[in-house]
Amino acid sequence: MLKTRHAHDHACEHGHPPVDVLKVAEARCAEKKLKLTPIRREVLSHLAASPAPVGAYDLIERMHRESGRRPAPISVYRVLDFLLEAGLAHRIESRNAFVACAHRHESRDLVVFMICDSCGCVSEASGAPVEKDLAAIAKAAGFRPATQVVEMFGRCAHCGTPAEA
């Protein structure tokens, strides 16, 4: 079971400083002629500041604590959909939660998520080396994937190997 610490004692690979994520977001939105509205910026900042994936209702609570206003769930879900489509965030399927993305890849590119069972951090790596293998497996089975998500669970470099009992 995933134990998520609220305060990490180490930096997570995915935990980009919000300023870096916002710079990437601004550049990407300018390239694609998309608007980075204040609420989109606010949600992305909260995702970037979190070392672990964040669910939509957790985002709403964080936004409420910070600003005193509680956005409607539909507004937050629309923002998350925008961020996913723009390639500025990822959905961690197994957690039904989201992480910010400051990497320069397309939203349709295969990404491998490495999720630490101890601290909850998520690291991201390109799935390009395994994408052809997965396509071949699907083709051999006569299967046409609509989406591909690869999530691995274990321990991050900081948390290391669990102690022997």
Would you state the pLDDT for residue 103? 80
In a domain? residue 50: yes
In a domain? residue 65: yes
Q: What range defines the domain where residue 123 resides?
A: 18-154
In a domain? residue 70: yes
Q: Which residues are documented as binding site for Fe cation? A: 131
Contact 149, 93 (CB under 8 A): yes
In a domain? residue 137: yes
Q: Which residues are documented as binding site? A: 116, 119, 131, 156, 159
Would you state the pLDDT for residue 160? 79
In a domain? residue 118: yes
d(CA 158, CA 156): 5
In tens digits, what is the pLDDT along the chain, a chain of 165 residues?
333 333 445 455 545 566 688 999 999 999 999 999 999 999 999 999 988 899 999 999 999 999 999 999 999 999 999 999 998 999 999 999 999 988 877 767 788 999 999 988 888 888 888 989 999 999 999 999 887 889 999 998 888 766 543
Q: Which residues are documented as binding site for Zn(2+)? A: 116, 119, 156, 159
In a domain? residue 34: yes
With both helix axes pointing from N to C terminus, report the angle between 56-67 and 73-85 in degrees, rounded to the nearest 10. Answer: 110
d(CA 16, CA 150): 21
Question: φ and ψ at 154, to 5 degrees?
Answer: 175, -140
In a domain? residue 6: no
Contact 24, 105 (CB under 8 A): no
In a domain? residue 159: no
Would you state the pLDDT for residue 143? 96
We report the CATH number of the domain holding residue 135 as 1.10.10.10
d(CA 55, CA 47): 9
Would you state the pLDDT for residue 164? 44
Total number of domains in the chain: 1
